[in-house]
Amino acid sequence: MVLADGPEGGAAEGELLSWSASAKGKEGWFRRMESGRSALLFHDRGAVFGAAPPARHDRVLIPLADDGLLLWESMRRCPEGLSAALVGGETARDALLRYAVVFDETEQPEIAVAHSGELLPTPEQATEWFSTPVFDRILVREPWKKGFPRPKGGDKNKTLPPGDVFDGLAASALPLLSATGSLVLLCSPPLLGQRISGIIAAGAATGQDELAEKIRHAEDAFFAGTDFLNWNAETVSTALESRGFSVRTSILDQAEERLVGPKDIDAWFDSKNSRWGVFMGKALAKNDFSQAEEFLRARIQAGPIPWKWKSVLLVGTRR
């Protein structure tokens, strides 16, 4: 279980901030959270383009572009250049092309379907799929949440060490960049994500501080001992620098109002199938594990949970 992600949602002044399954205000909560999610996406988009603003004539490559978030902004900012996108399948490609009909034929994006297990094309593939083998910007947003990392060859049951994952990304990106090009990467390391202990500590009116502290210590051990989750900004920057990049890094504070349901609690505290649940079930006393679950089940009845985490924004240029 990776506890990380998402915008800051607020409530209108004077509103009652509680709800039940039958409450009339529940739809209002959903509307506010959708608005907050949109604000978060726009914030991420602004951060990515602001980190290394492309020129009007630049060539931009966007992998994992199924949602179109960075693609449409690239087309707006680079009307005299090229906006190239890699997507996960023909369905996503067709959907983006349907949206692109509003642009003139000379302004159309170039969209290709990525090969299984590959985040970026080789220069030879780029030449075949797009009208150029090199780009001035490569923009990558939240690859860890979109099915990456995947080892080449498509073995979905195998996970790669985070350092190897980002080393592979850097190695693939470098030959695709022009001499003055930049790789911009926005990602949210699980280590910097929202923790269950933080939710309990924030909502503990009386008598839960000790429980929150016990869970915090156990969660620290969980993330530190899980190779797949134990990475941070230094992991990524070291991988890029080892491949010849100069790296500039900044940390973004992120927040959203997240609606957590009973099924989420079931999944988190599953002591047989959840990585987090298995570890915490062994690391905590049975009573503490049960108390944490009971607290969260009671907490979600009061409404959405303030969910906070940090994202890392890196800009890599040729050294």
DSSP 137-168: EEEEE-GGGGT----TT--TT----HHHHHHH
State which amino acid sits at residue 152: K
Per-residue pLDDT of the chain (319 residues; tens, 9 = 90+): 444 333 222 333 333 333 334 444 555 556 665 657 888 999 999 999 999 999 999 999 999 999 999 999 999 999 999 999 999 999 999 999 999 988 887 788 999 999 877 889 999 999 999 999 999 999 999 998 876 655 454 455 566 788 888 999 999 999 999 999 999 999 999 999 999 999 999 876 556 789 999 999 999 999 998 888 899 999 999 999 999 999 999 999 999 998 899 999 999 999 999 999 999 999 999 999 999 999 999 999 988 899 999 999 999 999 9
User: What is the set of domains in the chain, with CATH numbers?
Assistant: 26-314 (3.40.50.150)
d(CA 299, CA 3): 17
Find all residues with CB under 8 Å of 42, minimum gap 6, and list them.
none
Please work out, in degrees rounded to the nearest 5, the angle formed at the alpha carbon of residue 33 by the alpha carbons of 89 and 19: 130
What interhelical angle do 286-299 and 209-225 show, nearest 10?
Answer: 100
Q: How many CB atoms within 10 Å of residue 34? A: 11
d(CA 103, CA 111): 14
- What pLDDT was estimated at residue 122? 94
**Environment class of 122 (CB within 10 Å of its CB; exposed 0-12, middle 13-18, buried 19+):** middle
- What pLDDT was estimated at residue 203? 73
DSSP 206-217: SS-HHHHHHHHH
Instruction: Detail the DSSP E strand segments found in the chain.
Output: 59-62, 82-87, 110-113, 135-141, 177-187, 245-258, 305-318
d(CA 5, CA 222): 18
Backbone angles phi, psi at 138, to 5 degrees: -120, 120
- What pLDDT was estimated at residue 285? 96
The model carries a pTM of: 0.86
